[in-house]
Structure 1
Amino acid sequence: MEIIDWIQHWFKDNCDGDWEQGEGIQITTLDNPGWEVEIDISNTSIANINIGWILNENSAQDWYGVKIENQKFNASGDSGKLKFLLELFKEMIEKIEN
């Protein structure tokens, strides 16, 4: 399943009338340039997990970082990492749920 299809399905499965009224999923751009993904995980099996900021930086044009805290998945990466960041979220969800 393609990542966009997966994230749409995951979003739909988590909509309960309240969750989606809050922050849900936010994808924004950074000025360095890059992407930032923030996903509310309060309805998920990883809601109580906290992971401090992990940065993987190969160069100024090849980097990403991720953390989970306050019931939010936060990830940022260079301009070519949007798909990677979404796949990282999927991988974390599936690893913990299985």
Structure 2
Amino acid sequence: MSDSEHVFDWLQGWYATQCDGGWEHERGVKIDTLDNPGWTVCIDLDGTGLEDRECPRQQVSRSEDDWVCAWTAERSFHAACGPGNLTEALSLFRTWATANAH
């Protein structure tokens, strides 16, 4: 992974690597909006090399609109964040997913 690679480009590559003819039919990446406002991210890890790894809850709250929270639960990576923090939330996933990668 290159730190200069944009996180969306990295996520596209990660997703493509998981697609095996089956995984993408049952699982995937979901990005949605919140009404407070903000974003939610759910990345299904079942069937990936990350399915048994835990990401303890991380939470950063700078202001009402500048915040991010990330964690794993039920073999999924979850993030929620403020309206301008989607890149930061996905970067938390990339950092976690690539930590200790071989």
TM-score by length of 2: 0.86
In the alignment of these two chains, the number of paired residues is 98
Match of 2:99 in 1: 95
What is the Cα deviation at residue 96 of structure 1? 3.4
Q: 5+ residue gaps in structure 2?
A: none
Q: 5+ residue gaps in structure 1?
A: none
Match of 1:54 in 2: 58
CA distance in 1, matches of 2:35, 2:20: 34
Please say if 1:44 is aligned against 2:48. Answer: yes
CA distance in 2, matches of 1:81, 1:19: 28
RMSD of aligned residue pairs (Cα, Å) = 1.5
TM-superposition CA deviations, 1:53-77 (whole Å, max 9, x none) = 3322122111111110111000010
Match of 1:65 in 2: 69
In the TM superposition, what are the counterparts of 1:6-85 in structure 2 within 5 Å? 6-85=10-89
Larger strand percent: 1
SS in 2 for 1:56: strand
Q: Residue 26 of structure 1 contacts residue 39 of structure 1 at CA under 8 Å; is this kept in 2?
A: yes
What is the Cα deviation at residue 43 of structure 1? 2.7
Q: Residue 35 of structure 1 contacts residue 82 of structure 1 at CA under 8 Å; is this kept in 2?
A: yes
TM-score by length of 1: 0.89
Kindly, what percent of the aligned residue pairs are identical?
33
- Structure 1 residues 51 and 93, CA gap change in structure 2 (3 angstroms): closer
